[in-house]
Structure 1
Amino acid sequence: MQRLWMNIEGRIQELCIPADTDEVMPGVRWGASDEVFTPSFWKYQSEARSHHDRNGQHRLGDTLLEEIAVCLLGGYGIPAEMGMLAFERLRERGLLSGRATEEQVLASLVEPFTVASGERRYRFAAQKASYLSRSLGVAKNLDVNLQPRDLRDSLLTLPGIGPKTASWIVRNHLDADDVAIIDVHLHRACVMMNVFEPKSDPAREYFKLEDLFLRFAQAIRVRASLLDAIIWDFMRRIGPTARPAKQSAQLSLAF
């Protein structure tokens, strides 16, 4: 048994987890609590952050259409901060109702964005304007009362929306724990823990990998939506060169 401690609003709380040699699931050991990227490490991060109410709210938009928009505007090749800037501009201009034309959306996306370092342009503006205008035009008629996986199935029929984006929308909008966002960050973390095989490919095996991740989250008794968000946030901050290394679990709370 490993005994850890967390400072929760000035009160020290104990967290007990299995020994580092015990298995979380076949082939996956808990690992030492002071070693980053182990199941013990992610369990500690999840418990500590849940008490501090960090990563507890996933919604980025106020409606399903807005959630579709913000997730479509983010994703691969687009920094999260730039995706949010684009989303806020389109929302402020009333272009997320499902009635805006592709030309209207494109005109707003190609206009430079002012950031602290100067002006920046949104990548893939033409492609995203096409996806967004067409997807929102159909999505305004979707049943918003569907169960998470049923809603995801509906979203998968929309232009530009694949399993990852659809899962992202559903996780955010419904606070769902039966879907997962298998992106490059989460995939890298799960390979490090031996939850995923190194040669596994989310593009070809998305739902198989999602099932493995959901089983892992259940095994360490952490909500999948919370664990997904924590791993994404941590891994994107430290970059793709991350490798397992002995570090203080307390130090990691700075990320």
Structure 2
Amino acid sequence: MQAQTSGRTRSVATIPADPEAELMPGVRWGRPEWVPSAAFWAFMVGRASEPVDGFVGREVSLAHEIGFCLLGGYGITAEVNHAVHRALAADGIFEPGRRPGADEIEALLRRPVRIGERSVRYRFPKQRAGRLADALTLIETDPPPSSDALAFRRHLMRLPGVGPKTASWVTRNWLGSDEVAILDIHIIRAGLLIGLFERPIRLPRDYEALERRFLQFCVALDAKPSLVDAVMWRAMRNIGRGPV
């Protein structure tokens, strides 16, 4: 399949002749109009630009990036995540050498933020404040190695409250690595629907096995994992929860 993206044609995947054929073991190819299917994701990736969701910005510090990823995740919408991160950044929480305490961060997280016309309160001020305070201190006293993406991720997983998904999120954003996958609930739902993943799934135990399957899927699509998971995340978020 080829798709026109920003004035250029990009190869995404070779279309199997039979929509019932498998793109890879367990994953039927389908058709682009079958939502979702492997062919649908190939089509969506083919018309997408480079991912922007989930990035703070290439020019910011590791403290900013870890702060953004620790503040997000389960139960926190992307809009609230961005708003709360901006509020903490404006207060200098992520400045080098600042090392704020948990009480200071919690007080800031308890302030409502504006999302459009609404005033919204952050859901987990005490829990995330403690994790963030510890993380900001530890990355200054024992910074992760940046020459190896997987070693970088393992190092981050030593931080309180940082599991494989959050560590992968930071690794992807900070190092620009496609050796890891950000497997949140939206990506896992998409994988279940196309047969890429199988139940039962237990996280974090099964994270690396799911990640291997996801990266193999990206190879089969001839597409960057960072683009595939960004496209899946955006589409599945818009589709809604559904029956999975």
TM, length-normalised to structure 2: 0.89
Partner of 1:227 in structure 2?
Answer: 228
Unaligned runs of 5+ in 2: none
Letter aligned with residue 64 of structure 2 = E
Contact 1:183–1:202 under 8 Å retained in 2: no
Report the Cα distance in structure 1 between the residues aligned to 2:202 and 2:165, rounded to whole angstroms: 13
Q: 1:182-234: CA deviations, max 9, x gaps?
A: 11110110011101013223333111111111111111111111101110111
Take 1:218 and 1:13, find their aligned partners in 2: how far apart are those partners? 15
Q: Distance in 2 between matches of 1:83 and 1:13?
A: 33
Structure 1 residues 124-203: aligned runs within 5 Å: 124-140=124-140, 141-203=142-204
Length, aligned pairs only: 237
How far did residue 11 of structure 1 move?
A: 8.1
Is this contact kept in 1: 2:112–2:120, CA < 8 A?
yes
Asked whether the equivalents of residues 31 and 37 of structure 2 are also in contact (C-alpha less than 8 Å), the reply is yes
Moved more, 75-84 or 113-122: 113-122
SS of the aligned residue for 2:23 comes to: strand
Matched with 1:215 is 216
2:72 is matched with: 74
- Residues 202 and 209 of structure 1 are in contact (CA less than 8 Å); yes or no, is this contact kept in structure 2? no
Aligned to 2:84: 86
Percent pairwise identity: 36
Q: 1:56–1:226: 8 Å Cα contact kept in structure 2?
A: no
Query: Structure 1 length as normaliser, TM-score?
Result: 0.85
Aligned partner letter, 2:47? A
**Matched letter for residue 200 of structure 1:** I
Whole-angstrom CA distance in 2 between matches of 1:32 and 1:112: 45
Match of 1:55 in 2: 51
Structure 2 vs 1, CA of residues 138 and 174 (structure 1 numbering), >3 Å: closer, same or farther? same
Q: Deviations over 1:113-172 (max 9, x none)?
A: 123333210011011000001111001231452311110000000011011100111111
| Partner Cα separation in structure 1 for residue 166 and residue 154 of structure 2 | 12
Which residue in the other structure is 2:34 paired with? 35
Q: Give the Cα separation in 1 of the matches to 2:168 and 2:76.
A: 18
Cα RMSD of the aligned pairs, angstroms, is 2.2
1:59 alignment partner, SS class: coil
One-letter code of the match for 2:99? R
How far residue 173 of structure 1 moved from its aligned partner, in angstroms, is 1.2
- Range with greater deviation from structure 2 (13-22 or 101-110): 13-22
